[in-house]
Structure 1
């Protein structure tokens, strides 16, 4: 009978022990302690990533527990692969290996510690494991046999110390294999070089993730063709995934743009999947370098699944670690660590992607046409890397960085003249140079923007960045029919992108369809919960032009709050607040915000505002101008 204060529970136990620890200490105590501490940090980090908890780490032993035995085994595999990779960098006589044993059993818990046969069996299984290996009990095997892409060698019933009954034991084979009738069969994956760098290489991974998620929830998504507005409304009905920023494990901030680029590329590819909602980069990167539980991230972002990982490039070696997690339960659906030569990066990523696809599709019992998936890409690593550097400058929104982004995008195109994405971002940078008045010749820059975006579309007729840029160019030139065509193609090409929904909502607003724009802008904000100030500006103007002024005020107050934190335009937030207060007949507040707007932009005047208006219908422009006039906005610019 359990004593008072104790409680029993079923848990997955991981027990680890260093091999030849005494010899290593005898040869060099300081070096051994340093290595042990480093590897203990590896254990701790990976155990936490896999939703486990370290209970004891005395000397060269470690004890941890997991809610899920799937998490425990995936963690053990990740640990052994990580330690092997680190050992490869050490002299052979200084390498420290670990044996790991895993059991699923009943234990007694008292004040953060666990006791009982469940723990003892894990420790005995550890002794049966090979150096660098993993041994699991039959009870653990029964729970993971068809859930993980590993093979298993049955070791038979083992008689172990202080356990009355023999324990069934299995050796875990860490390469992707299948176990058939007790025999483990290696799966050989074909290596095929395609036109791919990170985009092409991750496309299979991202498509399969989308397929996995869709399979789990396909009953919730209609198979009928939806209208554009129905597509926007249906965002909340779809399964959703958040791709978190991959961690840069090198310690070299100069490589940060590579790990960021991996996440951004996966988001871009997944956003093309019609049956999946993909949380926007801006929202997932909100959590960068923050220690937040996956379940909390899923809850805050409205994501059912989370993909997270890490990237390390050291010299000519590259290591990528990735985990697909059920954000509601906190369980790992898939996890793997890859170590390769950087020179073979493209071929190896193809091999990895095929292995991932096969392991995932095997898990859910379906087939997948691995060789038919394609995505716009480049086969030149250098071109991709240079374009990622261009992205870094693009996001800083300064004249100097805009010029550098243009220069780097051109350089990427010089390396690969068929690189559609590079053309699309070059066009976007030309357009921004015009919009933010950085261009020395706006007319020339606008012509260059149009020319390069058409080239991007010629190279890839489904490039969403190119279509949103083209749509924006047409809108600025008040070619509303051509703008509509471009924005629709962007939405069709990337139906799960927050940005394509935002662009479409903005077009509907300016073309005189605010009621139709409302569900679309709401969808864009659901896909990007940590949105930038551009989102509530559009939603606020939509509410304003549908006569819902209180709701418009709420949205513009969000812009004002973001702007006060340096994350928006203080000038525009005051303009829109003045406009809305004026409609609500709150004249003092309207006048106050006009005065504040003039402080931020002394040249603000109604004549310039009317000239710059993008509204198709004059009455929509008048609705804003008349309210601003009532609030006290000047008609003309101040005299020089």
Structure 2
């Protein structure tokens, strides 16, 4: 920096960037660049001119702006987000441009036309923890604009920001497309509920589109059943029926519903009866942005309306829960790692676990441990920690390692201790006992408890079906796997159900049918060890030895130390004839002794 005297001044700094910029560019570079240029010309630049903001610098996906007035900076941020909401309109969520904005007021260093210092750094870090379409401000900003800007503020507490020495207290401004909230005095008198520390959802009353008031009870009963079923998911915060039904018969703004109920997701739907059939539709919406995450319709014959209601409920819940989980995984990935709570660590761990590599497995375990450190009663985190150790057995990263098995068992037992009614915890514990410890009887008890806790959970049905395979109850396993697939036909982990279907068919001595299912699993997850092993055995049974040996070579890239002697002491199949078929097939496929 030239000269001996450093020039400083107090300034309000606004930092903005585009959420998911890399994803958007990877999807369509030309469209993204054109959309960015369009939003700058039609949204950002005109509003900046009104509030006298000076653009200090721009990047490919963001910009840094200086204001003389902190009130102007905040009003500018709100107007930009509101204008962007209108600008996006019906643009599909996956291609829309959404900004995150952070605002701070503080001392900055001037160098020509550029600015530096903590005043700039804090604004940039606040932008990093803002949600797409919203604004995050520092405590200094909130104190100066309180009473001068008619908006409700949500205190999100002290935040540890990267490269900032002291924690910074921050506030969230939730910007809807409606006018700027209630006056500050009213907001303070009736504060909006803060978001829970876990994924939160409200199920609104379904619209009766039948034109038949008599069918109102069917629609209302379905919503009540959905609320009850979702409440079984320990990982979800579900708004009670009485609060949801205050919106019955009203035209609602989903963003406003999200603010008033303090939820991140809203499910809405409709029911239409015509002749002897009923169509139910449902759509899951992210309340803050209005983005549609999932939509589906379900048709059925009106033979037994209560059975139909139950069937629709199961299908809806089976589809919704994984979508919420996926949305939470994506949301947690956007948050800086210095500012995570237990559920964010949990969802980051799930993402890493699904990568199915040794390094990712170790990192996932560390995330589950961090979640447990923050919440020692987090049953599902204990369960998924045990899952890390089960996968180490499956992939051969720690096969027959007594210390690893002891650690996994400790986590599985803690999952059961803390999660007597948590289906995820119980299902993971069932899988560990059945597969890693070869204790199918204990797995059987835990799998049944998982289904009793939540009969709509795909993971619980997976645990139940694998346990049936271990016990040699293969016909039962086929029924259980089919039910799991029916509940959740688009689950990202569907390869596990397909592999289980193939294994059960193979152990029923139907190798051709088995190979079809195992091939489906491998098409989704080429390195899934269980599918590779049993596909090789199916090929041996079909006298396709060369192909079986080729399959084994693929497996040995993952499981480098696999030996017959290891497999004999590890195979979880309880029926002697099933274990013998497995070992004989592995030997013929070329696994060394």
TM-score in terms of structure 1 length:
0.45
- In terms of Rg, which structure is larger? 1
* Structure showing greater relative contact order (alpha-carbon pairs closer than 8 Å, 6 or more residues apart): 1
